[in-house]
């Protein structure tokens, strides 16, 4: 009996070695301690997370209409809006010449309530410490029936240029939005899989992966969390 117990660690080690031999990990160019790109793959092509952002916005193109608000610039409004009554750009930085509204979203009392039809809150909440306040203001400034489209990182390098606070999950985004919006009017999903997560962290570009590889979604290995909430 004791001899059998002593053999167990050896058997376990043998099984693990057998699994490594049967399914070898061939890292190739990824066997390195520095990334292929320090700008999310933007110097090699299209960042992987941008592919997923564009999938969300294409899916909700019909919601991007009316009085629109976007953060930083109007790149996605210009590309995906189907009907524009007005277009505003929100930024906390007064030096941004593209901004029409200067405000911190967590302290945005100066933005009028019940005004916007669609708010594109893309890759922003990770830079806001008080995310609950930001979501409350996002809800407040939307008109009845207005749509909030959010993307946030689940896996990403830390942004060296800004104060980068958070990474998100489906559960955390659902909880944040359900606290303010009606739960039945909130949809949260993830984009990405273990391959695209590795690729994104390594600085690979979207063009270095196939569409099939990019489109496979695994909730246990998300690159991006996306949400649509309707007021």
pLDDT value at 3 more than 70: no
CB-based burial, 82-97: b 16+ in 10 Å, e otherwise: eebeeebbbbbeeeee
Query: Is 16 part of any domain?
Result: no
Query: Is 15 part of any domain?
Result: no
- The chain-wide mean pLDDT, for the chain, equals 94
What pTM did the predictor assign? 0.91
Confidence band, pLDDT 50/70/90 cuts, at residue 139: very high
pLDDT value at 5 more than 60: no
Query: Is 1 part of any domain?
Result: no
Query: What was the pLDDT predicted at 189?
Result: 98
CATH number at residue 172: 3.40.50.150
Query: Is 178 part of any domain?
Result: yes
Report the range of poorest mean pLDDT among 5-9, 74-78, 86-90, 161-165.
5-9
Query: Is 128 part of any domain?
Result: yes
Collapsed DSSP state (helix, strand, coil) of residue 145: strand
pLDDT value at 11 more than 90: no
Query: Is 6 part of any domain?
Result: no
Share of the chain above pLDDT 70, in %: 96
Q: How far apart are CA 72 and CA 81, in angstroms?
A: 16
Q: How many domains does the chain have?
A: 1
Query: Is 136 part of any domain?
Result: yes
Query: Is 59 part of any domain?
Result: yes
pLDDT value at 9 more than 90: no
> Cβ contacts of residue 62 below 8 Å, gap of 6+?
82
Tell me the per-residue pLDDT of 157-207, one tens digit each, with 9 for 90 and over.
999 989 999 999 999 999 999 999 999 999 999 999 999 999 999 999 999
Confidence band, pLDDT 50/70/90 cuts, at residue 22: confident
Please compute the mean of the pLDDT values over residues 22-27 and round it to a whole number. Answer: 76
Instruction: State the sign of the Cα–Cα–Cα–Cα dihedral 140, 142, 148, 150.
Output: negative
Domain with 203, as residue range(s), is 26-230
Confidence band, pLDDT 50/70/90 cuts, at residue 95: very high
């Amino acid at each position: 009996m004791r001899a059998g117990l002593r053999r167990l660690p050896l058997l376990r080690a043998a099984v693990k070695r057998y699994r490594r031999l049967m399914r070898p990990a061939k890292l190739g160019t990824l066997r390195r301690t520095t990334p292929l790109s320090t700008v999310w793959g933007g110097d090699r092509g299209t960042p992987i997370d941008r592919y997923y952002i564009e999938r969300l916005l294409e899916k909700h193109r019909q919601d991007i209409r009316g009085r629109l608000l976007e953060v930083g610039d109007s790149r996605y409004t210009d590309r995906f809006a189907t009907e524009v009554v007005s277009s505003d750009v929100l930024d906390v930085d007064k030096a941004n010449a593209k901004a029409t509204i200067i405000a911190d979203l967590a302290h945005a009392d100066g933005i009028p309530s019940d005004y916007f039809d669609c708010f594109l809150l893309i890759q922003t909440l990770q830079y806001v410490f008080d995310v609950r306040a930001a979501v409350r203001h996002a809800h407040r400034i939307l008109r009845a029936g207005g749509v909030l489209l959010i993307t946030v990182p689940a896996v990403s390098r830390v942004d060296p240029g800004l104060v980068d606070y958070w990474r998100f999950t489906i559960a955390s985004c659902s909880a944040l939005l359900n606290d303010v919006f009606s739960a039945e009017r909130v949809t949260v999903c993830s984009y990405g899989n273990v391959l695209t997560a590795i690729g994104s962290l390594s600085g690979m570009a979207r063009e270095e992966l196939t569409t099939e590889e990019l489109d496979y979604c695994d909730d246990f290995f998300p690159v991006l969390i996306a949400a649509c909430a309707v007021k």
